[in-house]
Structure 1
Amino acid sequence: MKLIIKEYLSLLKESKELDVLVPDLLLSMGIEVISYPQSGLRQYGVDVLAFDSNKQELLVFTVKQGDINRSDWDSSEQSVRQSLNDIKDVYLNTHIDSRYSSVNKKIIVCTGGELKQSVQQNWSGYIKQNPISNTEYEFWGGDKLALLVEKHMLNEHIFPTALQSLFRRTLVLLPDSDYDLSDFYKLLDMLILSEDFGNLSKDKNLRKAIKSIKIINLSLSIIYHWSIKQNNIKPLVYVAEKVVLTLWEFIRKNDLYNNKNIIKIFTQNYQNLLSNYSDYFIKIEKHLHVKNGLNGYGQNTLLENINIFEQLGIISTAGLMHYFHVFNSDDIKSQQASVKSAKVLKDSVKALITNHLSTNSPCYDNHIVEITQTILLLYYCDELDFIDKWIKEIITHVSFAYEMGRNFPIESDSFDDLIALNISGETEKEELMQTSTLLPILAQLSSIFDLEKSYSLIKLNVDKYFSKTNLQIWYPNKDTDGFIYNNNAAYESGFMEVPISIPKNIEEMKNMINKIQEKTVKNEEISSIDKGLFILPIIASRHYRTPILPVYWQSILTIHNQ
């Protein structure tokens, strides 16, 4: 574990990474942090200021990135020597509170790397030539930091050997494309959801919970740098999603909506997730705008199809996250930036669909999750014509595929069933399309958007090819909020509207939607929607394969009726 931590520390940037970790480490050591890193203000070499009450000692940190070599020692305003001079000549004389003037002080050069042999004599010479009364100099490199992090942040109480084993296994298996990240998910559950922190209105218990969350953040940060180093950031997207969903479940379960410290940590993770989506999008963007640019990333066409829908889901989730951010910000510039980002992602989604014909041919019925959230993003960005065309393409391809007896969206989520249907021919088509959520949801979307031709085509093909298929849509109930952030909520809650018929015209379908809406849960019964985090149930749907909550498209009809 020490080697893992040390390598992670060596990858940290000086700003907003290592200088963020150091205060958390000091707090875990029981040391009071007086001053945190600040952007835009001259700090005269000091990044973190802390007071160790046990030793009655003031700790003055200057934080640097990576190894310290000759150029880092003395070549610019940001060099180690210049920072030490600023601390000695200015900071200690003008910025120290009078209550600390007589205590011992320690100037600490802190880095995730090491002090290279080429500058060790410079360091020793500087210390000898610049003595300060009641003041010592120290160097905290990767070795020392790794020991302190393991001892105080990953100690036996908060991160026992069993959890360390889960974490090590996560890192080892991370490059495996078939790895399901179950070890990290189990670690998350043990750290935060299964742990009994007691009454969290008590400061002692709350601090214990916050410490566990910080361990989660540290683990996530290590995974982030591991993923970047291995040029494999897709697992990071799923890990970051899981952390955000787990933290919200923790907040919901313990009614911590108004706890500023917990909400601040959640918000940081929420922003990190958005950043992870952006990193992932940047990596695959060029493939989306090329004909069949995502093909060739599977061992066969079935795996390629699954992969393409996965990319569609991730990108549309990111687009919706940016779009919904408009409602969570009062800053005009931030809103404008979010709308711009949503439109960029929308354009890439359109390119993905246009350049990959397999987006017209979902192989799983539950690909309606990706299809629905993509259609929502397109709708919010005024792309009704494109939606209309895509729905007609999907229903045409699905109907033709079913008639041919292969490559239609099967009702199960089993890859073995796909093989049995499409390759070995061991299963009859009727066995794998006894039910469908894809068909009625597309019909409802067509009716809500007044897409007459799409709706008529769905009605025609359902009557012709799918008269024996039970059409159904899942709806949440009052228990759903207790499951949606950590499981497939459809397995544990809600109800199924079945069988659904496709009425002759759009108005009849709208009447059906209005009637069922009267029986479903209200928005305030889904905590994240009630608190304005509209994206969380959508993230949960794609992550756990829970059907998209119908309120996301059915509420559009309600708005139109007002």
Structure 2
Amino acid sequence: MKLIIAEYLRTLRERDELDRLLPDLLVEMGYKLVARPQTGNRQYGVDIAARGENDDGQEELLLLVVKRGDIGSSEWDTKPQSVRQSINEIFDVYLRSHLEPRDEELPKHIVLVTNGELKQTVLANWCGLVSEYEDKAKIEFWGIDTISSYVEEYLLDEHVFHDDDRHDLRRALALSGDSEYNRKDLHRIFRRALDLDEKGNLTEESKTGKNLLKAMRIVNLSAQIYANWSLLKDGDSRQGLLALERALLWSWHRIQLTDSNKDVVKGPFTSIWSSYTRYIPEYFSRLMPYYFTPNSLSRSPTYGGAETSLVAFEQIGFLASFAVFMALQPISPNQDSEREYWFQQLNSACDALVAFIDNNGICTSPCLDSHSQDITLALFALMLAGRIEFAQGWLKRLFRNIDYSYKSKNYVPIAIESLEDLPDEGGWLGDHASKRMMEMSWTLATIAGWCVILDLEDVYKALVEGATQDYPNTCIQLWHPEDDFYQHLYFRPAHFVSGVSQAPIELPPSIEEYKKQMMQILESDFAKAISGSPAVKSRLLGLDFIAFRHFSTPVPPATWYGILRQENDLDS
């Protein structure tokens, strides 16, 4: 386990990663934090300050100097904010002007912390520095081996990280490179730590207070170890992404079952949120070249089978949910630069989404009816980024191919999730799709709704004609949530245990009439059912969209129908 932890720690950056883990470690070691890492403020050598008892039981002031990687000659005294400069600043400035009165008389303990090692080339310099200041402070070095030991002892001790957890984590790491692995071993760790049974209910003896906070740190640390491991040696970054999402969603689900929401949100959950936010660029960097490469999924613009379609729409869902997640990030008041940064991230994700769709013709041929969810997420993201013209063009191409598939009974978006039936009965191998595969469709209802939002009257009329004349036996329907929706959304596919189907949907002849029906949904109990989102109340708006995609829960129609209300407000 120590080797696994060390490998994980080596991947952490100094800012926003290593310096976020260390405060949690110090708290578990019995220290009380005095100062946390701050970006943009001059810290005069000290990254983290804490107060607590040393090994002799005497209270001391602990000052951490955090660096990344090995400490050699260039890191010692040649770069800005080098080790020697930082420690000199502590004695010249910090200890003279930045101490609280109660800390002035306490023994000072300065620790250089790094997720690397102290190289032999600077060992003599280090010993000289320690000797120079030994009458003023105790100076220590914590390298990768020391931090790994402390993490294992204090964050993964036998009272929290049991033998079963260690076994499951080792197995999960061993299988992380398998794209078909379902991460069930990692999920068991999460459920045990969060006191959740397989249905998302609390177990009989559930943790509260500090024990719950510690449990959430274990979930975060386990997910981060797994995610970083999946990036090593050309691993499967998708596995790491899904692991962090599950940790994020299940932790939020657990928070909704406890009374100590505020304490949890401010601490470990914020760390999980930050871990996921930082991982998204890592995932992007792996796949970005493929998004902008023509025919990156197949050998030619016209080639593509069911497996290619599955990959294509999964990536569309990923890109879209990332875009929405970044567009809806919580932003502090009067932080225009922060708002501009997240808007740029939204546009970057949408640039990749547009390029990916344009470069791969299969992106207009969904093989599953449930891909309607990915289509909705993508159109919603494109609307947020103002890519209206592209959204209209893509929806036209989608309808052209889907309309053809229903008319010809080939390449139909099948209405069940059994992929074994897809080649034989879905018409993806040249044969006609079976009646069973065409008996219902969310996709057609999704296209109808977006035709209204994007003002595509000609496409809507063609859809009505096809539904009444060419495939009249296909039941067009949508799913709407009910009041217990948020009890399930963050733990599992919510539409299997909550909500009702609107079926069959009879598309009226004119687009204006269907628009009136959509507006009625916005005034109904279905819209009220989604108005109480705990994520929205906590300004974590993007979390719901991650949950929709992660668990393949359809985006509630009232969520995207709401664009109509905004358009009406603008018109008025």
State the TM-score, normalized to the length of structure 1: 0.89
- What is the aligned counterpart of 1:73 among 76, 80, 84? 76
User: Against the structure 1 CA distance between its residues 309 and 97, is the aligned structure 2 distance closer, same or farther, given a 3 Å change threshold?
Assistant: same
Task: Tell me the equivalent position of 2:182.
Answer: 180
Which amino acid letter does the alignment assign opposite residue 245 of structure 1?
L
CA distance in 1, matches of 2:110, 2:537: 49
| Aligned equivalent of 1:495 | 500
Determine which of 505, 526, 537 is the counterpart of 1:520: 526
Q: Tell me: CA distance 1:352–1:131, structure 2 relative to 1, closer, same or farther (3 Å).
A: closer
**Aligned residue number for residue 450 of structure 2:** 445
| Paired position in structure 2 for 1:284 | 287
Structure 2 SS opposite 1:86: helix
1:419-443 deviations in Å (ceiling 9; x for gaps): 3235677985212121111111211
Partners of 2:395 and 2:447 within 8 A in 1: yes
The equivalent of 1:557 in structure 2 is 564
2:199 equivalent in structure 1: none
Contact 2:46–2:90, Cα closer than 8 Å, also in 1: yes
- Cα gap change, 1:39 to 1:480, in 2 (>3 Å): closer
Change in Cα spacing, 1:558 to 1:103, as seen in structure 2 (3 Å) is closer
Q: How many residues align?
A: 555
CA–CA separation in structure 2 for the residues paired with 1:100 and 1:352: 57
Does residue 477 of structure 1 match 2:482? yes
One of 230, 234, 237 as aligned partner of 2:233? 230
Contact 2:412–2:433 (Cα < 8 Å) also in 1: no
Q: Is the 2:220–2:271 contact (alpha carbons within 8 Å) kept by the matching residues of 1? A: no
1:388·1:454 contact (CA, 8 Å) conserved in 2? no
Aligned ranges 1:449-464 → 2 under 5 Å = 449-464=454-469
Structure 1 counterpart of 2:548, from 535, 538, 541: 541
Instruction: Give matches, 1:286-301, under 5 Å.
Output: 286-295=289-298, 301=305
44-53 or 478-487: which moved more?
Answer: 44-53
1:69-468 paired onto structure 2 within 5 Å:
69-132=72-135, 135-194=137-196, 205-231=208-234, 232-256=236-260, 259=262, 262-263=265-266, 265-295=268-298, 301-325=305-329, 330-421=334-425, 422=427, 428-468=433-473
Q: Is the 8 A contact 2:521 2:558 kept in 1?
A: no
More deviation in 421-430 or 477-486?
421-430
SS of 1:292's equivalent? coil
After superposition, the Cα gap between the structure-2 partners of 1:296 and 1:221, relative to the gap in structure 1 and judged at 3 Å, is farther
- What is the deviation of 1:93? 4.6
Secondary structure of the corresponding residue to residue 420 of structure 2: helix
Distance in 1 (CA, whole Å) between partners of 2:206 and 2:340 is 42
Deviation, 1:360, is: 1.3
Residues 122-165 of structure 1 show CA distances to partners (whole Å, capped at 9, x for unaligned) of: 433443454315x4332222112111111110011111111122
Change (3 A) 1:285 1:464: farther
Whether the 8 Å contact between 2:304 and 2:362 is mirrored in structure 1 is no
Residue 256 of structure 1: how far off its partner (Å): 4.8
Moved more, 323-332 or 46-55: 323-332
SS of 2:179's equivalent in the other structure is coil
Contact persistence 2:228–2:240 (CA under 8 A): no
Q: CA deviation at 1:464?
A: 3.1
Tell me by how many angstroms 1:381 deviates.
3.6
Distance 2:242 2:298 in 1: 22
Letter of the structure 2 residue corresponding to residue 61 of structure 1: L
Distance in 2, Cα, partners of 1:405 & 1:199? 52
2:64 partner letter: F
In structure 2, how many angstroms separate the alpha carbons of the residues matched to 1:527 and 1:391? 32
Displacement of 1:196 in angstroms is 6.2
Equivalent pair of 2:409/2:432 in contact (CA under 8 Å)? no
Q: Distance in 2 between matches of 1:223 and 1:183?
A: 11
Partner of 1:46: 46
Cα separation, 1, equivalents of 2:436 and 2:542: 35
The 3 A distance-change label for structure 1 pair 154 and 199 is: closer
- CA distance in 2 between counterparts of 1:428 and 1:282 reads 39
Provide, for residues 213-232 of structure 1, a one-character-per-residue CA deviation record: whole Å limited to 9, x for no partner.
22222223323432333344
Q: Is residue 325–residue 542 contact of structure 2 (8 Å, CA) maintained in 1? A: yes
Distance in 1 (CA, whole Å) between partners of 2:344 and 2:64 is: 40
How far apart in 2 are the matches of 1:96 and 1:382? 51
Report the Cα distance in structure 2 between the residues aligned to 1:395 and 1:64, rounded to whole angstroms. Answer: 55
8 Å CA contact 2:410–2:433 kept in 1: the answer is no
In 2: Cα distance, 1:398 partner to 1:245 partner: 33
Cα drift, residue 5 of structure 1: 0.9
Aligned partners of 1:277 and 1:315 also within 8 Å: no
**Counterpart amino acid of 1:52?**
G
In structure 2, relative to structure 1, the CA distance for the partners of 1:458 and 1:303 (3 Å cut) is same
Partner Cα distance (1:12, 1:286) in 2: 24
Counterpart Cα distance in 2 of 1:46 and 1:326: 29
Q: Distance in 1 between matches of 2:5 and 2:468?
A: 61
Moved more, 321-330 or 510-519: 321-330
Return closer, same or farther for 1:122/1:382 CA change in 2, 3 Å cut-off.
closer
Residues 486-516 of structure 1, C-alpha deviations (whole Å, 9 max, x = no match): 1100110000111111221112222333444
Could you tell me how far 1:531 is from its partner in structure 2? Answer: 4.5
- Residues 286, 452 of structure 1: CA spacing in aligned structure 2 closer, same or farther, 3 A cutoff? same
Identity %: 31
Q: Where does the alignment leave 5 or more consecutive residues of structure 2 unmatched?
A: 197-201
Q: Distance in 1 between matches of 2:41 and 2:546?
A: 38
Residues 226-268 of structure 1: per-residue CA shift (max 9 Å, x gap): 23333442223222322222232223222555x1552454344
Amino acid at match of 1:390: W
Instruction: Provide the residue aligned with 1:21 in structure 2.
Output: 21
Shift of residue 485, structure 1, vs aligned partner: 0.8
Query: 1:94 deviation in Å?
Result: 4.6
Runs of 5+ unmatched residues, structure 1: none
| Aligned equivalents of 1:509, 1:166: Cα separation in 2 | 52
Going from structure 1 to structure 2, the CA distance change for 1:261 and 1:197 (only over 3 Å counts) comes to: farther
Whether the 8 Å contact between 1:44 and 1:86 is mirrored in structure 2 is yes
TM-score (norm 2): 0.88
1: CA distance, partners of 2:222 / 2:515: 48
Q: Supply the AA of the counterpart residue of 1:361.
A: S
CA deviations 1:358-379 (Å, max 9, x no partner) are 1111000000011111112223
Q: Deviations over 1:249-294 (max 9, x none)?
A: 223222555x155245434433443343333334333332332133
The one-letter code matched in structure 1 to 2:446 is: I
Q: What secondary structure is seen at the aligned counterpart in 1 of 2:108?
A: strand
